[in-house]
Copies of this chain bind each other. A is one copy, B any other.
Amino acid sequence: MSRLSEKRKAAVESMMKEAIYEAAVKILLHQGLDGLTMERVAEAAGMAKGTLYNYFQDKKSLQLYIFARVSEPFNQQLSAIRRSTVSPKEKLVKIMEVIFLGFEKNRQILVILSGGRIHNLKEYSMQLAAIPEFSDCKATKEPIGKVIESVVLEGIQAKQFFAFDPKLATDLVLGAITSVIDRQIQDNLPRATEENIAQLIRFLMEGLMKA
């Protein structure tokens, strides 16, 4: 009995957090970080203000949760790609596909959460690492930049890539990708077309690869 009811409680808690998370994300996307008031989140999630505080200690906790939720799936996938045994070039292509297919809305959310100051994302990471519940998630231990950087480094060492500064190359790759995503969100396009993705990959590859 205790078992079952505990499971049920956990499930309910999970659903509530999910509902709150989705409401908060919708608001972040439409009204920005400033527009993210607990009042609005509550209304969008169809509950009273006070109820939010049964699931998140305070607003900061909710933001951290969003950060973790948004970061985690990519970091999981990217981490898997990093550890796979294909060539650096293939890794990079896979990484770009993953990012493209899943990163659209999520990157936007991260940028909004940071209030435009990327430095803030670092703080989120650090604060996340300080919470036991999240201290071992990928977002904390293997951020996306690190993964790309290690693949680029691998490619350079394998003489498959030009001898770029790995950090620089990482920024170029990430920057180009996310810029395209931003544009699509900005223009309200549903998502990147296959054609766009192919072009992006060719662009990055032919700029990065030795002839």
Contact of A169 among B115, B178, B203 (CB under 8 A): B203
- Which residue on chain B has the smallest CB distance to residue A187? B167
Which residues on the B side are within 8 Å of A211 (C-beta)? 211
Let me know if A16 is at the binding interface, CB within 8 A. Answer: no
Which residues on the B side are within 8 Å of A206 (C-beta)? 162, 206-207, 209
Let me know if A43 is at the binding interface, CB within 8 A. Answer: no
A-side interface residues, number (CB < 8 Å): 56
Contact of A203 among B33, B92, B172, B210 (CB under 8 A): B172
A window 155-211: CB within 8 A of B: 155, 159-162, 164-165, 167-169, 171-180, 182-183, 185-186, 195-196, 199-200, 202-211
Contact of A207 among B118, B180, B195, B204 (CB under 8 A): B204
Let me know if A111 is at the binding interface, CB within 8 A. Answer: yes
B200 touches A168 (CB 8 A): yes
Contacts A199-B164, A209-B205; is A116 near B111 (CB within 8 Å)?
A: yes
Contacts A168-B200, A200-B168; is A161 near B208 (CB within 8 Å)?
A: yes
Residues of A within 8 A of B (CB): 32-34, 89, 92, 108, 111-120, 122, 152, 155, 159-162, 164-165, 167-169, 171-180, 182-183, 185-186, 195-196, 199-200, 202-211
